[in-house]
Every structure is written in C-alpha cells, then in structure tokens.
Chains A and B, each alone.
Chain A
Amino acid sequence: MNIILKIWRQKNAKAKGKFVKYTLDDVSPEMSFLEMLDFLNTKLIEQGDDPVAFEHDCREGICGCCSLYINGRPHGPGKKTTTCELHMRLFKDGKTIVVEPWRAKPFPVIKDLIVDRSAFDKIITAGGFISTDTGSAPEANSILVNKKHADDAFDSASCIGCGACVAACKNASAMLFISSRVSQFVLLPQGKIEAAKRVQDMVAKMDELGFGNCTNTYACEAECPKGISISNIARMNREFLKAKVGAPKDLG
C-alpha cells in the first residue's frame, strides 16, 4: 500500500517544529506502525536525512514507551492497542496519516515525536508506592485479600504509564493515570495504611506539574490501551475526599 505521512518534526526542545510530508510506497499491510516508521527512517538515512525520532522499546504493548497521536487519536485507530501493536492494515491505501507527539504542558517535546514523560515519574515518586520492610516473603495467608479487590487492583496496576490518557483528554488531565495508581494500592490491605497521605500527595503533585482537570469526558477510558476504567477516577475522588475530611492535619 502507498501512504502519505504528515509528521511533526522538531529538532530539539527549543526549536520551532513543523509538519513534514513524506510519501511512502510499498508499505506492507502486515507492518506494525513502528515498523512502517522504521521503513521510513531507513529511507531517510539512505538519503542522508535525519531520521524521525520516536520512542519504543518492547514492541509488544507492555512497556509503555511508544506513544504517537495518530489521526487525532493516541495510539491510533486500534482498540485497546498501543502504537507498536497497531497494524498498517487499519489504514486506507493512498490516505494521509497525521502523526503528532503527545501534547500537554507537563509533556514537553524533546525531539520530533518524543516527549518528556518524567512528570509521571514525579507523580509516582510523590506517593505511588508502599513503604515496607525488606526481608523474606511473608506467609501468604497471614493477610487475607478479597478476590474481587485483588482482581480490581490487578486491573488498575495494568496501567503501563504511556500517557495516552493525558494525550486523549481535552484538558490534558492525568486523572486516569493517577487514579489507577491510587486504586491499585488502596484496594489491598498493604496499601490502605498510607492511603490518605498518598492520594493527597499525588494530587498535589499533579496540580503542581500543570496537568488539567477532569471534566468527565471519558476520552481517557476510550483510548487507554489497557482499558483502565474511569471508576478508578471516582475511587480517587472518594479517597481524596475521605482524606481531606477525615485524615489528621499533620499527615502532610
């Protein structure tokens, strides 16, 4: 198949970027989107041009490295897929594909299609963990966990931190990401201990970093490659309210 690409090119964080048009012939429908970009880059290198910079690692939908805002949707038109799992057969022959980096104030462009997602790391550092003593593994049945809660916690923990929720949200809000982190801990007994401090610290960090606010459009849920539910956001809203109203003042 033949395609026309309009790709955001930006030399570095400070440079003014622009869209550059590329026509690519002989694209196989079996190629993944990233393989198609590799194909383009090979041609660009052969021509002596600067290849398109994009992030990738595992290429099997689990690392959360790949991003790309393709034709108005993060991770493109596939359902519950990351860009690396997206195949060219989902695109029409001869059509133009517009590829943009994630756009959000806390995600500045580093080069071309690569953005700095360390804002997510900062949020995790603010509270996305449990404080626990190291040592040998505790006896498994000493802390009982409800099966439903364990399953829900697992679902929440399946977030790969790619940032598609922020990219999809019209407000560039990180609520789905943070709420999945809050949920994965608060649903389990070990996470409940620090729940009040965690949710307040993470929300404060989110606000400080300049993410937008949730207006319940649910675009995040629709675009999340892991199908993280917006019920996590409601859970975070509940937890935050509980912490604000009920938790002691000197909690932080």
Chain B
Amino acid sequence: MSKFLHYSPLTKKYIMSIAGLFLIIFLLVHLTINIFILPITEGHEEIFRKAVNFMTTNLLIKIMEIFLFAAFLIHIVNGVTLQIQNWLARPVRYKIEGWSHTSFFSKFMIHTGIIVLIFLIIHFMNFYFVKLGLTNPPQGIVPVANNHDFYNMVINLFSNPTYSVLYIILILLLGFHLNHAFQAAFQSLGLNHSKYTPAIKFIGNLYSILIPLGFIMIPLYFILFA
C-alpha cells in the first residue's frame, strides 16, 4: 500500500494535470447547458430541461459521471499531498519572501482550490444530493416539482441575492484557479513548445475569463432583471 501511494512527484503532477484538464472540459459542458437558464433563445427553458433530462438519464453520461468524480477526487488528493510536501520542504521560512516575479495566481492554487472545494460541496448539497434524495431541494418563489426539477431549483436559489453574490465571488475565485491551471497542466505534462506555448497561454487566459463570465451572467441576470 505504501509503495502504491509513494509514486514520484512528477507522476503525481501528470495525474493531476490530466484530471484537471478533464475537469476543464467538464466545466465547458456544464456551462453550455447552464447558459440556457438565461432567455437567450425561444424555448430556452425547454432546452435546459431536455438537457438536464439527458444528463440525468443517459447511460453513457452515468458512466462518465464515475470518471468525473474520480477526477475530482484524484485532483484534490494529489493537490493536497503535493502541497503538504511543499510546505515540509521549507521548514524554516524566510523573514521577507515572495518578491520574485512569478505568475500571480500560481501562488494561491491551494487557497483557491480549497474555496472551489467548498463551493463544490455547497453545489452538491443544492443539486446532486437532491437528485439522490439525500437533501431537500432549495425552496423559494417557485414550487419544485421533483428531484430533477433543476430549473426551478436554480430560480429559487438565484432569487436570493445573497446566494447570487456569493456564487459570483466563488466563480471569480474559480476563474483565478483556472487562469494558472490551464497552461500549468500543459507544462506539467511536458508540453512546452516555442511554437505552441504562447497559444496555450492565450487560450488559457481566454478560457479563464469566458467560462467564469458565462457562469456569472446567470446570477447577474437574476440580480438585475428578475
């Protein structure tokens, strides 16, 4: 068991990067569905409900869900393990430190990571555990028909401005995490290339702005117009 757990830090980083990149793709899929909560097109509610129905009943998605949870678990466990090793590598701290020029968000990955984890737990209690019947659906201005009525659950949650503001802050912090994560994942996998790295960095920056922006637009709509 100890041999199984004690694998090279580089291997840990590969696994973390692959799991992270998988989560990055997942976020894109998640947002693609969520965006239909907004009245961006006619019958947006219908499209959202159909997508939810597909995501909760399709067998292939259910199999992917196992991979998703595994990715979350692996990413978190490896991240925390590496961080503890990192703290132990400098038992005596500097009196003055951190004046070196570095990528800003990279210094706070464990902090933003923990905040994202807290957000994930809240998110699970509001939605996933409701689906499993473990927690009660969020109540509010509209009645929730059943465990799969995510549309009305979202409306109930975002009709509470405190929740909406909290959601926006947490998504912003997720954006900070993503900003460093995207290009770092490629670097850890050894994919640094004089031709492609600038493009990867550009896409990473774009991704870390557009994805959080997309998620933030939803509660913002409720704060401003609902």
Residues of A in contact with B (beta carbons under 8 Å apart): 6, 19, 69, 71-74, 98, 100, 103-106, 168, 170-173, 203-204, 207, 210-219, 222-223, 230-231, 233-241, 244
Contacts and interface: CB of A to CB of B under 8 A. Distances in A.
Interface string B1-36: 000000011111110000000000000000000000
Interface of B: 8-14, 82, 85-86, 88-103, 106-107, 109, 180, 183-184, 187-192, 194, 197
A207 B8 contact: yes
A222 B190 CA distance: 19
B101 to A, nearest CB: 4
Nearest to B98: A72
B58 to A, nearest CB: 33
Given A103-B93, A239-B190, A240-B8, 5 more contacts: A106-B89, A173-B86, A212-B85, A213-B9, A223-B100
Given A216-B188, A241-B190, A210 B89 contact: yes
A212 B85 CA distance: 6
Nearest to A8: B95
A219 B89 contact: no
Given A172-B90, A173-B89, A231-B192, A19 B13 contact: no
A173 B93 CA distance: 14
A211 B103 contact: no
Given A72-B94, A207-B9, A237 B189 contact: yes
B11 A216 contact: no
A30 to B, nearest CB: 25
Contacts of B89: 104-106, 171-173, 210-212
Contact of A214 (B13, B88, B183): B13
Contacts of B102: 170, 217-219, 222
A214 B90 contact: no
6 contacts: A215-B106, A233-B187, A234-B187, A237-B188, A238-B190, A241-B189
A211 B88 CA distance: 9
Contacts of A239: 190
A106 to B, nearest CB: 8
A98 B82 CA distance: 30
B199 to A, nearest CB: 15
B214 to A, nearest CB: 26
Contact of A19 (B95, B100, B106, B107): B95
Given A71-B99, A100-B94, A215 B192 contact: no
B221 to A, nearest CB: 35
A112 to B, nearest CB: 14
Given A216-B103, A216-B187, A237-B189, A100 B95 contact: yes
B196 to A, nearest CB: 11
